[in-house]
Chain A
Amino acid sequence: GAGVSQSPSNKVTEKGKDVELRCDPISGHTALYWYRQRLGQGLEFLIYFQGNSAPDKSGLPSDRFSAERTGESVSTLTIQRTQQEDSAVYLCASTRSTGEKLFFGSGTQLSVL
């Protein structure tokens, strides 16, 4: 596709429910990131996929968070048993390689009631 696509753009859920966020990176981009941006805050690193290497999961805030990526294509971020503090914009970004420009998706605005 022409850019990084994220879905849904908005998600409202009840506390305790599970949610799944999807990211379609730009074709050919081997690196894929998930970041979280709380209202008025910076970008918090969550997880990084690079080719066939083991993902860097060092930013995942708890074991309720997990992510998968199929080859060098789609990635899903799953949050189990959502909490109100999970409310944020979840951004996906992809790039061809380290040192190259990151292309960001429009984000998923998650609201946990």
Chain B
Amino acid sequence: AQSVTQLGSHVSVSEGALVLLRCNYSSSVPPYLFWYVQYPNQGLQLLLKYTTGATLVKGINGFEAEFKKSETSFHLTKPSAHMSDAAEYFCAVSGQGGSEKLVFGKGTKLTVNP
């Protein structure tokens, strides 16, 4: 079974500051890990994903995340926040197997202050 914990339901940063959104997962099998973003009044979009191979993955809009197996973490970062990054961010995990469902965390709402 898989589960996801996102630390901090709300994160506020200043424009230009580092963005760090935390995600820890639990999985009984090797995981696939995802970050999705939901902009206000829009549907969910995939930011990036980890399946196998390189543990540092780069996504759209300058975001990246690093899979750390020893810490069971997949934190999302961006060096410099932009006002347009304000949105809700969801971490998700599924197991590496054809029958493993995708489970989402509760989400982190990012606010970017001018």
Contacts and interface: CB of A to CB of B under 8 A. Distances in A.
A41 to B, nearest CB: 7
Interface in B82-111: 90, 94-107
B57 to A, nearest CB: 13
B27 interface: no
A48 interface: yes
A48 to B, nearest CB: 4
A28 interface: no
Contacts of B101: 33, 45, 48, 56
A98 B106 contact: no
B104 A50 contact: no
A87 B21 CA distance: 29
Interface stretch (B42-50, B61-69, B73-81): B42-50
**Minimum-distance CB pairs A-B, first 3:** A42-B106, A48-B101, A43-B104
B51 A45 contact: no
A78 B9 CA distance: 31
Contacts of B96: 98-99
A41 B36 CA distance: 14
Nearest to A51: B98
A35 B99 CA distance: 17
Given A35-B104, A43-B104, A50-B99, A99 B94 contact: yes
A90 interface: no
Contacts of A105: 43
A25 interface: no
B44 A104 contact: yes
Contacts of B99: 50, 53, 56, 98
A43 B90 contact: yes
A42 B97 contact: no
Interface string A87-108: 0000100000111011011110
A105 B106 CA distance: 19
Contact of B46 (A50, A102, A106, A107): A102
